[in-house]
Amino acid sequence: MRRGLKGSTVLLGAFGAIALLSLAVIAGQAPAPRAAAASQVKRQANGKPDFSGIWQANNTANWDLVTHEALPARVMQPGVHALAPVPAAPVLALGAVGGVPPGMGVVEGDVIPYTPAALQKKKDNYEHWLDRDPEIKCYQPGVPRAMYMPYPFQILQGTNKIMMVFEYANAQRTIHLDQVEPYPNDSWMGHSVGHWEGDTLVVDVTSQIDKTWFDRAGDFHSDALHVVERYTPMTPDAIRYEATITDPAVFMRPWKIAMPLYRRLEPNVQLMDYRCIEMVEELLYGNLRKQPLVRKWEGQTMTVSVERRIPPPDILYER
């Protein structure tokens, strides 16, 4: 409803006062402006919406799925006042660039319904973010996180499969619209099977490994994760994305996120490389070099010293 009103306002500006009357009549007659926009949506020969193109979310869900305030840094330590913790050493030198942007939540009801034990683990993950977030290690993000990371991704809608290719880590997923065998193992991006409900593409995502997260706030799941996504055209250049998340090992009930995905409209937009595998080699393996490389950084007002450690085997091998 709110979206409909906004659409009317924009149209008002364009058409002027005379349009007001007729528009009000149309709105009163039922076909909502949303439906009008949907009719301009690009479609395939079979009449289904064609989502092909380069898209990107434009929110802070990857920082935290629920509503959150700005933070001076994602890694902090106590300051001189309980209300004023300060950035910790790993991010201090980044100043305002290293802060966490605030944002409205994308979770319905703004609460993730963790079981009490799982909530403890989420809090623990939050505290140990720098050691644990799979994004930091350039691991494939899983679903739904891949959909709202701050990088573009491309949808290629074929005739019986839809492929999504993500700029981050060259991750990819295939949505099978045809009949396929179940996936034989758990995987980072899961196994996606889709079908149409009217103009909505509904995707069932299973077989996800338990090592991906939802965001940089430590929100996690188990290998029992089941995600049902719904992609509905809002306008030719926006998709309403919804994901219902079920995981009885971690959450007390299913919960839902929703957000728009926006088409990247730059005429020269294209996916480029974000080959973070190579970028994180120093982070992941620098402690195993014969001669340590990154030891110390010196700026005008500060020196940052780095001491590398080799953690015990269970942590080393379960990175």
Partner 1 sequence: MRIKRQSLAFLGALTAAVTIAVALESVTVADQASGQGAARPRTAAQAPASRPTAPTPAARGTGKIPRTPWGAPDLQGIWNTNTLVPLERPREFGTRAFMTQEEHAKALADLQQRNERPGRDSRTVAGQPAVGTEKDVARAYNEFWFGDKPTKLSMRTSMITDPADGRVPPYTPEATRRMADKREFLAALLQGTSGGKPGPISPRRADRSPDYNLDRINRSDNPEDRGGPERCFGSDVPVTMGTGTFGGVMQLVQAPDSVSIYYDVGQGSGFAWVIPITNRPHLPKNIQLYRGDAIGRWEGDTLVVDVTNFSDETNFRGSRENLHLIQRFKRVDADTLSVEFTAEDPTTWTRPWTAIQELEKADEKTTLVLEGGCHEGNYGLLGMMLNTRAAEQAFKEGKGPDPATQDNATGGGAEN
Q: Give residues in contact with partner 1 (CB under 8 A).
A: 44-46, 50, 52-53, 134, 137-140, 154-163, 165, 169-172, 174, 178-181, 183-184, 187-189, 211, 268, 270-273, 275, 277-278, 281, 284-285, 288-291, 293, 310, 316-317
Taking a C-beta distance cutoff of 8 angstroms, is the pair 169, 150 a contact?
Answer: no
In whole angstroms, how close is the CB of 143 to partner 1 at the nearest point? 12
| Residue closer to partner 1 (CB basis): 182 or 198 | 182
Measured from the CB of residue 53, what is the shortest distance to partner 1 in angstroms? 8
**Residue 12 or 316 with smaller CB distance to partner 1:** 316
CB of 64 to partner 1, least distance (A): 24
Nearer to partner 1, 73 or 227 (CB): 227
Q: Least distance (Å) from partner 1 to the CB of residue 179?
A: 7
The angle that helices 2-15 and 17-28 make with each other, rounded to 10 degrees, is 150
Distances (CA, A) of 297 to 76, 89, 93, 240: 20, 12, 10, 45
C-alpha 92/C-alpha 107 separation (Å) is 30
Residue nearer to partner 1 on the CB measure, 9 or 179? 179
Q: Where are the alpha helices (DSSP H) in the chain?
A: 2-15, 17-28, 33-39, 89-92, 116-127, 129-132, 276-279, 281-285, 313-317
Structure tokens at 218: 């430590």
Nearer to partner 1, 178 or 197 (CB): 178
Cβ proximity to partner 1: between 181 and 298 the closer is 181
The residue among 293, 277, 319 whose CA lies nearest residue 134 is 319
Q: Give the CB-side neighbour count of residue 129, counting CA atoms within 13 A.
A: 19
Q: C-beta of 170: minimal distance to partner 1 in Å?
A: 6
CA–CA–CA angle 21, 26, 29 (5° rounding): 130
CB of 119 to partner 1, least distance (A): 26
The distance from CA 305 to its chain's CA centroid, rounded to whole angstroms, is 33
Angle at 37 between CA 34 and CA 43, to 5 degrees: 125
> In the bound complex, what is the minimum distance in angstroms from residue 152's beta carbon to partner 1?
11
Cβ proximity to partner 1: between 162 and 257 the closer is 162
